[in-house]
Structure 1
Amino acid sequence: MVVMNNTTVQNISARRAALDAKFKKWPRNTIASHFYEACMTYPERIYIHADSHSITYKETWESATDYAKALLQLGVKRRDHVAILMENDVVYPALMLACSMIGAVFIPINTMLSKNELKYILIQSDAQFLIMHQATKNNRLADSISALLHEADFKEDSQLQDVICIPNHDETIDKQFTPWDEFCKKAEQTTDDEWKERWGESRYPDEVGAIIYTSGSTGTPKGVMLTDDMLLRSAYSTCMSRAIEDGRVTYAPLPFYHCYNLIEGILAMSFVGGLLVAPKAFSPIHALEMIEKYKANDFLLVPTMLVPFLNHPKLKDYDLSSLFAMWCGAAPAPVPVWKKTIELLGLTEIITGYGQSEVASSGVTTELGISLETLTTRVGRPKLGGVSGLPEFNGSNVEYKTVDIDTHETLPHGSVGELAVRGATVTHGYYKKPEETEKVIDKDGWLLTGDVGRIDENGYIELIGRSKEMYKVSGELVSPREVEGVISKHPMVDQVAVIGVPDTITTEAGVAFIELKAGETCTRRDILNWCSESLARFKVPRHVWFVESADWPLTSTGKVQKFRLKEIAEERIAARGR
């Protein structure tokens, strides 16, 4: 259990009271209006540290103003689409803020995408302007975009008017691009009056402020349309649920282009004048160094980061005493990992959560100080909303229910079914995809999440699996999550993922991909015997394959791409049958 004494509980209440005192009622700001207040309140505090660069709140506002003026000079109109293809950088939040100032739609794009994946999103999103880094460590972005600009079908189908390139590589920038310095100088040609006039015309919080593309864990990305008010409500309710105090220092080695760090990091910190330390990439040793150097209080990460962090041989060589909070989300973590986290780090405020881009990141989180049993079997309940919450949802911004997987009829409370959600932070649809929108959002605003679960008597959500990931063995439904939970408790197992594949005898069969702990050995028979002690025979995987850490097909946020595992399994089975 995560132990919390009375002093800690009182401290949490005091922190929430301080947040409540900020607003008498929810202000319904745009991101720009919200940041103006934050930057005027905490001008000299450092806001973002990304690798070797830091920027204060005041400097963020000043940079955003210059970028907004430059975008105006470039010809960006209200509701134009501005795509951002960048690694974590102090420039990133300022560009989001600049887009809000001038009423443009901010579109963060995954820097890990291939040329054809970039092509799809740039065309589908109707991006008229693109601001990008020349390259990342593993992706020559400029080469991909240069190639696209020469393709006839891209020229015909895309709306792209200008590409601004930030140099971060030795190669010369393509002449088709506007160099970053040249772009920044354009700000000098826009007057304060012109900028203020546009900002005044753009203060409507219910317009689409961002289009965030789904991470692709189940296939083709879709553009989730989110308003400024949705983004800010979600971030504020995270602050309330986690009782984030004034000036919190958060270490978050997660990409800015994903809603996890965008909302739970960048936006959440802005409500409390906090510092966000956000490197371009994660490494255990860098995490140890930065947590010690900046005296981080909080750690945002995913299980695929937590495991190597805890296993690092130099963990005890660093002073991590400032760290008391952690949010490990995006995927389930095995029970042994949570236990090891508490034992080694002594954290008192560990949570997990559940959500998706369609719900502006997280819809639910676990409570502070809950038992380890609840932490490992539940993903949370609707976040506390404070002044941002709605009375019809008991002070939260969203509500959940379960529905029949086939008919979508509402099920009695406590029933297992597909989770559906509606509320003030739930998207109204996917950009230019009316059919996909209609499939998942009904006339009353209920969005089908694609996740199967149940809501217990305390309002906590228990996830059972993805509706598309459930499989049937001889007519019996199997939850991959249940099987994963059993295998993860094996003393030799570090991580596991289970999927179903077609089978000529039993319709479908289970496949377990397993990564063992360093230096450990195990056999297929060991795993089958272990499963047989806790699972019905039909739930025991037929196929077991051991993989290395580098073998997992992951999204940019550390989620295992199960559709890729399914492809790998089917290829191996087919090859075996030849």
Structure 2
Amino acid sequence: MQIDSTTWDFTTLPALSARTAEVYGDLVAIEDGDTTLTYVAFDRIRRQVARALLAQGIAKGDRVMIWAPNGWKWIAAAFGIVSAGGVMVPVSTRFRANEVADLVERSGARMMFSAGDFLDRYYPSELTEATRARLERVVVLDEARAPDTGWDAFLAEGEVIPEADLAAREALIGPGDLCDILFTSGTTGHPKGVCYAHRQCLQVVDAWATQVGLRHRDRVLVISPFFHAFGYRAGAIVSLMRGAVLLPHQTFDAEAVLTRVARDRISVIPGPPALFQSMLLHPEFDRFDTSSLRLGVTGGSVVPSELIRRMRADLGFQGVVNGYGLTECGGFGTMCDSQDPDDVIANTSGKPAPGVEVRIMDEDGAFLPDGQPGEVVIRGYLVMQGYFNNPEATAKTIDKDGWLHTGDVGHFDENGNLRIEDRIKDMFICGGFNCYPAEIERYMSQHPAIGQIAVIGVPDERLGEVGKAFVVLRPGKTATEAELIAWARENIANFKVPRQVEFRTSLPTSPQGKVMKDKLRDPEAAT
């Protein structure tokens, strides 16, 4: 039996976990290094986490952060948080102190689950004193240092909470209650928290699984980070829902991934185009056995037709799918069919999901016919509840008729497939990560030598797009390209760091004083 909308009425995430234990029982749910968890074992652990959170005093609706790489404890913590009635707030492992501090303040998080030693640093040591003061507790998922609490010690605190108390808390959680807040930046450069509810999360995951053709007992290697909607929903939750085996992977390395595909007999890999391109570019690709691969799911960037062809011919994927979606609609919206021709998968984002409306709208709010470009708007069950504590931004994004304005320009072709042409917003996508120039500009403007800065996305063969910064130095100040890039690496997430810096005496501006980025994108103007 497979859990889907035809066999079970979706309500909440803790109810899903309990249901998977009933239906899939002692089948393996997660393989993570030396740890193997069955569905029954996973459900038991998420209840232990929830009881420990109750002992901590976490109330329904309280926000709890997770700042850690992919791993079984990340998923156990996430399900424990929502089982206690809390709202899970994931944080990118690439974020630095000031970025984390900003999200702690904006979310009002009461506590945090954090990585310990990862990427050559002890993560909690990055927290500022002010951030520490806001958090009641930091629980470290591996080796903790004082004053932080270790995972096992934290779980032990929950033993004083009877199972009946947890059951009573779970009974208070409704399908329309928030389950997570995923922060995403925008043209303002300030992160906005996308609020998502239990039932719509489960409905999105179910629809996605059906659309791409995920199967019972597939072995899913999840490289996309769990702190992202794609990795969390289209990797972790979907595997649990469909009775697949979830295999978390922490950091991308082509050889490590190819080794795992051969050793662990991986059948499904979701990820951005850069992931598959790097696998194919490995100098010793031919020595790896990829015969177990069945389904490749990509999106979030330009997908060359040649890549789709090679994913099928060289990597051996029987099916390849490409789609389009935003965090504001659960990461889902439209999707190709795995058997579509290569050029359709490469050049379109497919058709709208069942029960979801996708239209093209002009500047005056009128719908446009197929073939005419305009703003892509989405309406349906998958549209977010709104931005956390930001009704003004919510009203600007979701109109009075319930249409989510994506800020992307596209059109429907003669076959009803969505083609994304451009972005109204300045966002660019680096290796599958959304990058917002306004946010990068805001952080880099703190450098003492930078007087003015404008960031755009430029094409990159491996990552799809990377940032390029145009900088006007302050009078009397000096800096080199290498110095500014090195400073950025110390202060913002790596995927946001501009790979190029071009110094200018001035930036082109409109009569209103706004930097005209179209002139920066023009190769002749750029010289």
Question: Is 1:343 matched up with 2:301?
Answer: no
Q: Would you say the 8 A contact 2:290–2:316 is kept in 1?
A: no
Question: Is 1:454 matched up with 2:425?
Answer: no
Partner of 2:152: 181
Equivalent residues in 2 for 1:278-357, closer than 5 Å: 278-357=248-327
Partner of 1:237: 207
Give 2:366's match in structure 1, choosing from 401, 409, 423: 409
Which 10-residue stretch deviates more, 178-187 or 265-274?
178-187
Q: Would you say the 8 A contact 1:112–1:139 is kept in 2?
A: no
> Once superposed, what is the RMSD of the aligned Cα atoms?
3.3
Structure 1 gaps of 5+ residues are 1-17, 384-395, 471-479, 482-496, 500-509, 518-546
Deviations 1:278-302 (A, max 9, x none): 2111111111111112211111111
Partner of 2:356: 398
Equivalent residues in 2 for 1:47-58, closer than 5 Å: 47-58=29-40
The whole-number CA distance in structure 2 between the counterparts of 1:78 and 1:262 is: 22
Amino acid at match of 1:439: K
Amino acid at match of 2:384: T
Question: Is 1:27 matched up with 2:9?
Answer: yes
The whole-number CA distance in structure 1 between the counterparts of 2:187 and 2:284 is: 33
* Cα 1:316/1:215, change in 2 over 3 Å: farther
Deviations 1:398-452 (A, max 9, x none): 2111112x33333234320010101111102110111111111111211111111
Partner of 1:115: 97
Q: Would you say the 8 A contact 1:233–1:397 is kept in 2?
A: no
Equivalent residues in 2 for 1:536-575, closer than 5 Å: 564=498, 568-569=501-502
Equivalent residues in 2 for 1:115-264, closer than 5 Å: 115-137=97-119, 139-145=121-127, 147-149=129-131, 155=133, 158=134, 160-168=135-143, 173-175=145-147, 177-202=148-173, 204-214=174-184, 219-264=189-234
Deviations 1:186-245 (A, max 9, x none): 11111122111112222x111111101126798332110000111111111111112222
Give the drift of 1:464.
0.3
* Cα 1:84/1:454, change in 2 over 3 Å: same
* Cα 1:41/1:78, change in 2 over 3 Å: same
The whole-number CA distance in structure 2 between the counterparts of 1:467 and 1:248 is: 38
Deviations 1:159-190 (A, max 9, x none): x322222344xxx7232x33333211111111
* Cα 1:516/1:184, change in 2 over 3 Å: closer
Give 2:87's match in structure 1, choosing from 105, 118, 124: 105
Give the drift of 1:564.
4.9
* Cα 1:572/1:38, change in 2 over 3 Å: farther
The whole-number CA distance in structure 2 between the counterparts of 1:315 and 1:62 is: 40
Structure 2 gaps of 5+ residues are 430-434, 438-454, 463-481, 508-519
Give the drift of 1:513.
4.1
The whole-number CA distance in structure 1 between the counterparts of 2:194 and 2:403 is: 15
Taking structure 1 as the reference length, the TM-score comes to 0.74
* Cα 1:417/1:568, change in 2 over 3 Å: farther
Partner of 1:68: 50
Partner of 1:268: 238
Q: Would you say the 8 A contact 1:30–1:228 is kept in 2?
A: yes
Amino acid at match of 1:230: Q
Give the drift of 1:134.
2.2
Amino acid at match of 1:231: C
Q: Would you say the 8 A contact 1:400–1:422 is kept in 2?
A: yes
Deviations 1:333-385 (A, max 9, x none): 222322322221232210111111111112111112101111111011123xx
Equivalent residues in 2 for 1:75-94, closer than 5 Å: 75-94=57-76
Q: Would you say the 8 A contact 1:146–1:174 is kept in 2?
A: no
* Cα 1:167/1:572, change in 2 over 3 Å: farther
Amino acid at match of 2:160: Q
Which 10-residue stretch deviates more, 177-186 or 235-244?
177-186
Q: Give the % identical residues.
A: 23
Deviations 1:284-342 (A, max 9, x none): 11111111122111111112222111011222212211112101222122223223222
The whole-number CA distance in structure 1 between the counterparts of 2:33 and 2:361 is: 45
The whole-number CA distance in structure 1 between the counterparts of 2:54 and 2:76 is: 15
Which 10-residue stretch deviates more, 341-350 or 369-378?
341-350
Taking structure 2 as the reference length, the TM-score comes to 0.80
The whole-number CA distance in structure 1 between the counterparts of 2:130 and 2:58 is: 22
Partner of 1:422: 379
The whole-number CA distance in structure 1 between the counterparts of 2:460 and 2:70 is: 29
Give the drift of 1:456.
2.2
The whole-number CA distance in structure 2 between the counterparts of 1:376 and 1:370 is: 10
The whole-number CA distance in structure 2 between the counterparts of 1:210 and 1:139 is: 27
Partner-residue secondary structure (3-state), 1:84: strand
